Chains A and B, each alone.
Chain A
Amino acid sequence: MTSSVKRRRRIFAATVYAILIVGAAIFCFPIFMLLSRSLMTTVESTVVPAKFFPSVLQWHNYVDIFKAVGTLEGTSYWWLWFKNTAVLEVMVIAGTVLSSVWVAYGFTRIKFPGRNFVFAVVMGTMMIPSTVTMIPLYTIFSDLNWLNTLHPLIWPMWCGGGAVNIFLVVQFLRTLPRELNESARIDGANEFKIFFRIVLPAAVPILTAVGVGAFVGVWNDLVNPLLYLNTKDMWTLALGVSTLNVNVGEIGGIPYVFAACTIFSLPPIVLFTFAQKYFIESVVMSGIKG
């Protein structure tokens, strides 16, 4: 390798690094401001010209925000919101993971009439905007007396977990060698046995990705809780945090709202740091359509 090629490589690398650093700084600047302003005093956050950094870090903001939302007969709303979100997460993740692999198995490992038709229909539902079904779903749930409960947010996810998840698992199962199936079938096992013994364990990687995606989906969801959860004690964390900005004066000021937002954003970020692989896998697999 000649030295001029080496030099060109180094300049190339340096320029790319420079551009990436600037780009990353621009991208992460708002998040830096989120943290910074969450540690300011209320007065500092309304100063003009706006400050980049607080003079003294107000760590107590993170403690004070817990008292700010009020309590219901002694229990802080934060706890209620957290409880609702936790229950929802458990139920939805269980439902999504279990039903998506159950249904995907039906679509891939067994040949029977009508299978492809149903698959096409399910895939077609991806084209249906949720706005069309939003209002009638609301009336259906209203008739079922499920309004202001967590049920409307849970049970639809037990029906396969959504077309995208079914698609993901189907794609994955298709990569599993057919021989697995065939050899077991020759041994006289029926479909259910194959499902539990062989396919389910093999699908753990993709199911982890599905589970991670489901967790983030529920955590960030605003529309569904907004539609179905009426009273403050039934809200999820996402819905609760979204209302903090409405009455900033009562909460105490922007720093407190930002502190709440930071706390609220931590779980997905932590999950991402530890489960990067699965995030990327689910995003990537849904994007690569042959």
Chain B
Amino acid sequence: MRDKTKVKLKRTVTGYVFLLPVIIGLALFTVLPLVKSFYYSFTEYNNITPPINVGLQNYKDMWSQMFFTKSVINTFVYAFISVPLGLFCSFFLALGLNAKLKGIKVFRALFYLPVILPAVASGILITDLFSYTYGIYNRIFMALGLGRFAFFTSEKTAMLSLIVYSLWGMGSSMLIWLAGFKSVSDTYYEVAKIEGGGPVWTLLHVTVPMTTPTIFYNLIMGIINSLQVFTPVYVITSGGPNGSTSTLAYMIYTFGMSYRKMGLASAMAWFLFVIIMALTLFVYKTNKWVYYEGGKD
């Protein structure tokens, strides 16, 4: 008897020794900041003088702050349009790149190339190419007789341009689709052929349903990530014009680090956090449409 518990104890201790780094990391870099930011959201704080308690004032004030409401809307528009659109487009791209043709690997690499280009470099590049006066795209449009397009200089088109820019990176979703396609066992396709189904039918009734786990995961992660979009906004548009590309992450950074209103920024951050949690829970609860081979785990 004693031996058994001794072994178990030893194993537990060993286990936790292995988990030590991640537990320390969790405590210091996740839990502690979470608690702190929750606390700050009820204060007025600039990191120089001690925090002053203001209760729920921040949560009320943030709605009247510059572009906050706009940022909330923009963030959701961006996430809910760019992610599904990206997944949709990259799905068809992946279908094309799944063809068993010679040299297809070269094409895959070419489509993935924009993803490897550092975001800083591509941001600067796009700012110049989309420039109203000097941009190469406007030159092309002018040559085609379409006239100049405002891209990032008009509030009506800025968000659209940002979304189009995000599509340039569909290479990574494409790779995931490709892997998903490969994981669909060939027997399904054989059955489909026997049943006499054409390519479109196979697509709708075999490929899509079998890759729903992939869709599901990527939709969630994609939305969570794009709800926090920051770098393109910082590098290209600075939230303009007139707040049309201002996102929550950009607002939080600006209010926290530039204006030093850290209490307000923390309140904004918690607002975003609660929304993401609610969304995630919602998608999880309604995942009946996901087909897991071999039952759900």
Contacts and interface: CB of A to CB of B under 8 A. Distances in A.
B116 A24 contact: no
B253 A134 contact: yes
B18 A268 contact: no
Contacts of A48: 133-134, 139
B124 A245 contact: yes
Interface residues of A, number: 93
Interface stretch (B62-70, B93-101, B149-157): B93-101
A112 B118 contact: no
A1 interface: no
B113 interface: yes
Interface stretch (A54-62, A68-76, A114-122, A176-184): A114-122
B234 A134 contact: no
Contact of A261 (B11, B37, B121, B168): B121
A288 B179 contact: yes
B272 A129 contact: yes
B235 interface: yes
A201 interface: no
Contact of A290 (B112, B227, B257, B292): B292
Interface stretch (A86-94, A153-161, A202-210): A153-161
B120 A30 contact: no
Given A13-B101, A156-B25, A283-B175, A20 B107 contact: yes
A16 B269 CA distance: 46
A135 B37 contact: yes
Interface in B265-284: 265-266, 269-270, 272-273, 276-277, 280
B11 A159 contact: no
B121 A136 contact: no
Nearest to B142: A49
Interface string A15-35: 011011001100110110110
Contacts of A216: 116
Contacts of A111: 11, 15
A105 interface: yes
Interface string B16-34: 1111011111101110111
Contacts of B117: 31, 265, 268-269
A52 B136 contact: yes
B57 interface: no
B213 A290 contact: yes
A198 interface: no
A20 B142 CA distance: 26
Contact of A227 (B111, B248, B257, B292): B257
A219 B116 CA distance: 11
Contacts of A132: 33-34, 37, 266, 269-270, 272-273
Contacts of B22: 99, 103, 118, 122, 159-160, 166
B243 to A, nearest CB: 18
B84 to A, nearest CB: 16
B249 interface: yes
A49 B14 CA distance: 68
Contacts of A254: 128
B228 A140 contact: no
Contact of A289 (B29, B32, B123, B217): B217
A49 B107 CA distance: 31
Given A129-B224, A131-B249, A135-B265, A105 B121 contact: no
A31 B128 CA distance: 12
Contacts of A264: 118, 120-121
B109 interface: yes
Interface of B: 8, 11-12, 14-19, 21-26, 28-30, 32-34, 36-37, 40, 47, 93, 96-97, 99, 101, 107, 109-114, 116-129, 133-136, 138-139, 142-143, 168, 172-173, 175-176, 178-180, 183, 213-214, 216-218, 221, 224, 227-228, 230-231, 234-235, 248-249, 252-253, 256-257, 262, 265-266, 269-270, 272-273, 276-277, 280, 292, 297
12 contacts: A17-B101, A34-B121, A47-B134, A118-B22, A134-B269, A136-B34, A136-B37, A137-B29, A241-B121, A261-B124, A264-B118, A283-B172
